[in-house]
Structure 1
Amino acid sequence: MDLRWTRIGVARHALRVVVPIGLMLAASLGVPAGAATVTGVTVDARAITIRFDDAVSAASCALLPRPDRIAVDVSGLDAGAAPAVAGLASEMSETAGPDGTTRLVFQLARPQEVTDGQFERGGRTLVLSLRPVDQAGFAAAAATSHLDFFPFSFGNHPHPLPRARAVATIPAVATSIKLPRVQGDESRPLVVIDAGHGGFDPGAISAETGLREKDVTLKIAQAIRDELLRSGRVRVALTRDDDRYLVLRERFGIARRLHADLFISIHCDSVGAGEASGASVYTLSEIASDKEAARLALRENKADVISGVNLDDAPADVSSILIDLTQRETMNSSAEFAKLLGREGHDLVPMKPNFHRMASLMVLKAPDMPSILFETGYISNPRDAAFLDSDEGRERIAQSIRRAVEVHFARRIAMK
């Protein structure tokens, strides 16, 4: 998935861009294709700031106990001589990390939890926000915390991509999108499947074959729809059933307007180098949900924040509490479904060992609808790409979704 493409502000203004998303775009943005190195690290009571001499493509972090450490895995980074650090981190090391990344490990002087992170300077600086915790809090966070970060830039790729040059205009968010067709028994819960990317946004592209993420995700979404309809347990709708572009808020906005009971966004992962493979499932991170809840609570028109509840006349503190409670329940339900998908699909789809991840992804930010983003595999890995673009691979992915969906709604019925 290249969600960095979808993070550009397109709600109000049209931008002219050059496709493909690869070296031509990266070059137009001033993003070089070589691997970066760490040029400096600053650690204080509130943040770890890592500076690079070039843009990196992505990063993730996790907490490592006994001794207390923060591990940051960076894609597009060459390991070099680690700069000296002081303060809360007594030492930093650089080693080879998983999936072709470089791992930066910070030895902590006292327990600290990473609460959020963001890229700055187009992927040349990564800032991790810190919060002091006790030993028990650090251990608990280490067991569950895994955050992923994506820079604003379009990223790097080591080889030119086999794509023709084309010019397109990104449209503004449509005020009224025609809702897609819903198929299935009206008495059944509704699952909305979102095929990532589309139109002039191809998503990730295989450097070897030219296989485009937007084509793969559409075929997978259609296979999932057909499998779910055959089961007869749910109704199904696709956000797109053809090659069209949708802004992120339009995607989960369609699902909310249909009053969907579950939203599943389908993507393919990609890295510029290395043999990374396997599927993963993303749900919204707790910090991201806090920020979104605050944003929603401040909206002037709060009639549609929570489906079925008009908060226009509610006091600000009441609105904030109701939104927070709703979103917490939604996050819990999303996480439960992610775990179900990992359990039900492990014998059908190659999964990463740490398949469940959390990130601040726009497409997951509906406050009242369980939502996941399913990274079905790496389009940059020839083995994964062949699986994703095969009839057997699509059937296996669809079966894994169907199994998880059946258990998910059976549990919900049993709880009523």
Structure 2
Amino acid sequence: MAAGLCAALGAVPAQGEPAKSQNDFPVATDVRLEQQGETVKLSMALSTVIGVEAWVQAAPDRVIIELPSTNFQIQSGARKSAGFISAYRYGLFTADKARIIIDLSQPATIVKAEAKALRGGLGELVIELRKTSRSEFLAEAAKAKKANTTVAAPAPAKPPGETRRTVVIDPGHGGIDPGTVVASIAEKSVVLNFGLALKEQLEASGRYRVIMTRDDDRFVPLADRVKVGQDEKADLFISIHADSLMQAKDVRGATIYTRSERATDAEAAKLAAKENEADAAAGLETSEEVQDVAGILIDLARRETRTFSGVFARNLVDKMGASVRMHKIPLRSARFWVLSAPDVPSVLIELGYMSSPKDAELLTSAEWRGKAVGAVGAAVEEYFARERASVGQAAENRHAQ
């Protein structure tokens, strides 16, 4: 997670929606951050007047500003902090919303949050904050939390008569959550490009129904990613990420992760903790839901799912290891929330280390991507081929009896 990241974020069409150009979005430019006494003001020039909503949130303390989809074209030298504003970031949040998130070092209240009309149809976004007491801040945050509680949308129905295996591809991060950012390269873009290429390859075989948790630059909460796999009755869930270890830039290679309550090592535990904080980057107050389902059947399902996840993970290590560089410990496990569905075999692929200059170069290479996508596709083929073979053998055994 890159605190205070200020990078221009675009958008590509959402699944099932007509294509939208960035030119269709209001444009935000010329950000200014000014402090006067106990008041700090953040302003941006707008190409038009837009609707604005804002509220405060505790633990961590921040201000959330929600706007329509916006094309942020912010100058690279913009001031990043002032007074009690320690950092801010912005980007697409959903298909039709953008967010600005302001991190606070001290409690503050919202004095003003509006888009003012200027001459020529232009606008100006003005967010004015003033220092306040902890008790008043918490009271405001509690009211905002209650007002922003939403009801989950109904689950989509899997098409009747569908016989192809369903594979869910989950490009990590997205929208306002860029993931790791190194030398202006954002993890969210690297993994989206990989996921779309993998989708294209799997669909070309005609054997798979492929669902993307996101196919554009939008944010998807962790719980929604897990829910997609369960609602679609996925036969495989593949989450795509790119690691970073800034204190050891010589560490390289891809790593395959499965879910376990106890991490295989400290690095795996640290990575899982970082990935599990994805919702916080977008200003969501969530925590992992514990599936409180008693009984031996759910325990058996979970064990079976983890067995299948392990089989596929080993396939990935074998196939990817023959095509691209792997980490010295290529198979690991940790408590990743996105892999928590008890009924969906799930793995998380860290494609490489963006903190390694060599890996960062490869991750943006079409040639390397082709090799890695081909290896993952081959692992998917082998996984389901073994399944088909085992089903066929069981049928033969039944006929022989």
SS at match of 1:349: coil
Matched, 1:224 2:201: no
The corresponding residue for 2:398 is none
Aligned to 2:341: 366
> Residue 107 of structure 1 aligns with which residue?
none
**Deviation of the 1:293 alpha carbon:** 12
Partner of 2:301: 326
Which residue number corresponds to residue 284 of structure 1?
Answer: 259
Match of 1:205 in 2: 181
Could you say if the C-alpha distance between residues 14 and 415 of structure 1 is closer, same or farther in structure 2, counting changes exceeding 3 Å? farther
Q: SS state of the match for residue 230, structure 2?
A: helix
- Give, as a single letter, the amino acid of the residue that structure 1 aligns with 2:291: L
Contact 1:180 1:237 in 2 (8 A): no
**Residues 29, 328 of structure 1: alpha-carbon distance in 2 compared, 3 angstrom cutoff:** farther
Matched residue of 1:193: which SS?
Answer: strand
The structural deviation recorded for 1:297 is 2.9
1:176 to 153, 167, 171: 153
**Deviates further, 241-250 or 163-172:** 163-172
Relative distance call for 1:293 and 1:195 in structure 2 (3 A) is closer
How far off is 1:187 after superposition? 2.2
Deviation at 1:229, TM superposition (A): 1.3
1:134-175 CA-partner distances (Å, limit 9, x unpaired): xxxxxxxxxxxxxxxxxxxxxxxxxxxxx9854625987771
SS at 1:408 equivalent: helix
- Cα deviation for residue 14 of structure 1 reads 10
**Selected match of 1:190 from 132, 141, 166:** 166
Mapping 1:119-130, distance limit 5 Å: none
**Distance 1:28-1:414 versus aligned 2 partners, 3 A rule:** farther
Residue 175 of structure 1 aligns with an amino acid whose one-letter code is: A
1:215 to 160, 183, 189: 189
- Find the counterpart in structure 2 of residue 51 from structure 1: none
* Structure 1 counterpart of 2:359: 384
- Does residue 265 of structure 1 match 2:242? no
Q: Which runs of at least 4 in structure 1 moved beyond 6 Å after TM superposition?
A: 17-20, 27-30, 170-174
Change (3 A) 1:334 1:16: farther
Pairing 1:248–2:222 present = yes
**Residues 254 and 201 of structure 1: CA distance in aligned 2, closer, same or farther (over 3 Å):** same
Aligned residue among 268, 291, 294 for 1:296:
291
- Per-residue CA deviation, residues 321-367 of structure 1 (Å, 9 max, x unaligned), is 11111001101110111100000111212111211101001000000
SS of residue in 1 equivalent to 2:181: coil
For 2:222 and 2:317, the matched residues in 1 are separated by: 25
1:339 corresponds in structure 2 to: 314
Q: For residues 357 and 198 of structure 1, do their structure 2 counterparts lie closer, same or farther at Cα, with a shift above 3 Å needed?
A: same
Is the partner of 2:251 in helix, strand or coil? coil
1:411 counterpart = 2:386: yes
Tell me the distance in 2 between the aligned counterparts of 1:244 and 1:293.
21
Deviations 1:289-317 (A, max 9, x none): xxx9994235xxxxxxxxxxxxxxxxxxx
For residues 21-170 of structure 1, the aligned pairs below 5 Å read 165-166=89-90, 168=100
Q: CA RMSD in A?
A: 3.9
Q: How far off is 1:263 after superposition?
A: 0.1
Aligned to 2:30: none
Contact 1:377/1:384, CA 8 A, preserved across alignment = yes
What letter is aligned with 2:206? G
- The CA distance in 1 between the partners of 2:305 and 2:378, in whole Å, is 20
Is the partner of 1:175 in helix, strand or coil? Answer: coil
CA separation of 1:293 and 1:173: change in aligned 2, threshold 3 A: closer
Residues matched between the structures, number: 246
Counterparts of 2:149 and 2:220, CA distance in 1: 10
Contact 2:89 2:176 in 1 (8 A): no
SS in structure 1 of the partner of residue 178 of structure 2: coil
**How far is 1:256 from its partner?**
1.1
Q: What are the superposed Cα offsets for residues 44-74 of structure 1, whole Å, 9 maximum, x if unpaired?
A: xxxxxxxxxxxxxxxxxxxxxxxxxxxxxxx
TM-score, length basis structure 2: 0.54
Rate the CA distance shift 1:397–1:14 in 2: closer, same or farther, 3 A: farther
Residue in structure 2 matched with residue 397 of structure 1 by the alignment: 372
One-letter identity of the residue aligned with 1:361: F
Structure 1 gaps of 5+ residues are: 3-9, 31-162, 299-318
Q: Deviations over 1:209-243 (max 9, x none)?
A: 21000111100000100111122332211110101
CA distance in 1, matches of 2:169, 2:343: 16
- Matching residue's letter, 2:217: D
Partner Cα distance (1:269, 1:406) in 2: 26
SS at match of 1:200: coil
Conserved? CA contact 1:233–1:406, under 8 Å: no
Instruction: Tell me the TM-score normalised to structure 1 length.
Output: 0.52
Secondary structure at the aligned position of 2:201 is classed as helix
Structure 1 CA distance, aligned partners of 2:379 and 2:319? 6
Q: Flag structure 2 segments of 5+ consecutive residues without an equivalent.
A: 3-56, 66-73, 91-98, 103-147, 264-286, 392-401
Identical aligned residues as a percent: 38
